Structure 1
């Protein structure tokens, strides 16, 4: 048995389905009875993607996508941590805020308990939206639709 280094998702090659791809094989068997147009489209898309990744320009595009996704992750994480660090600073710098209560609960507990969840949700929403936009730009550059 030989070792295989996986560098990308399973794909359909021009000569057939890659080894170990049971799901692609089942799609091929089901699509073959329907004329094989879905298989042909999948093969063409995979072949164009692989050709783009193997060329010098394609490698530049992939590296650019990886860098942009990494940069996005770092920016979102840093922004989240900055906002999280601002909560205790606000409580320490504003006099009397830490001793105040809302409906009988200490303000700092309410701030951390209810105020952090919208920040987490907003961070996740921004990350997903921007990551999808980065991937869409990559697909436009490579030519996949």
Structure 2
């Protein structure tokens, strides 16, 4: 036995450790505390807002075409590449437009999720 005695105690504080915030925020989300619940609700609200904005854009873009053809009936008689313009725009061009809107939505939704993940992993 040494006569020096036990080594002096050291105080370890969670907030002083590197990565303590990451552990805390991840635990808040996993244990569904009020803070974690607020963070998840914020993510859901951001995703819902994004989805509603993109749905509105899609409805306005594609919904404006029939209105345009009803307001200007002579435009509906125009023929392009052997097809009438309404069929061309709504039947063929509409799909790439929807695909582009969907692609952009997925990218932005994934960015929202990555921001949330970065927030909990900081």
Q: Which runs of 5+ in 2 are unaligned?
A: 1-21
Q: Provide the residue aligned with 1:74 in structure 2.
A: 52
Which residue of 2 is the match for residue 143 of structure 1? 121
Instruction: State which structure, 1 or 2, has the greater radius of gyration over its C-alpha atoms.
Output: 2
8 A contact 1:72–1:127 mirrored in 2? yes
Equivalent of 2:74 in 89, 96, 107: 96
Corresponding pairs, count: 99
Per-residue CA deviations over 1:57-91 (Å, capped at 9, x if unaligned) read 22211110011111111111111111111011121
CA-atom RMSD, angstroms?
Answer: 2.2
Q: Is 1:120 matched with 2:98?
A: yes
The alignment status of 1:58 with 2:68, answered yes or no, reads no
Task: Give the C-alpha shift of residue 94 in structure 1.
Answer: 2.9
Q: What TM-score comes out, normalization by structure 2 length?
A: 0.71
Structure with a larger share of its residues in helix = 2
TM-score by length of 1: 0.61
Equivalent-residue separation in structure 1 for 2:24 and 2:115 (angstroms): 19
**What do the CA deviations read for 1:20-74 (whole angstroms, capped 9, x no partner)?**
xxxxxxxxxxxxxxxxxxxxxxxxx99973x121333222111100111111111
Alpha-carbon contact 2:25-2:36 (below 8 Å) kept:
no
Deviation, structure 1 residue 103: 2.1
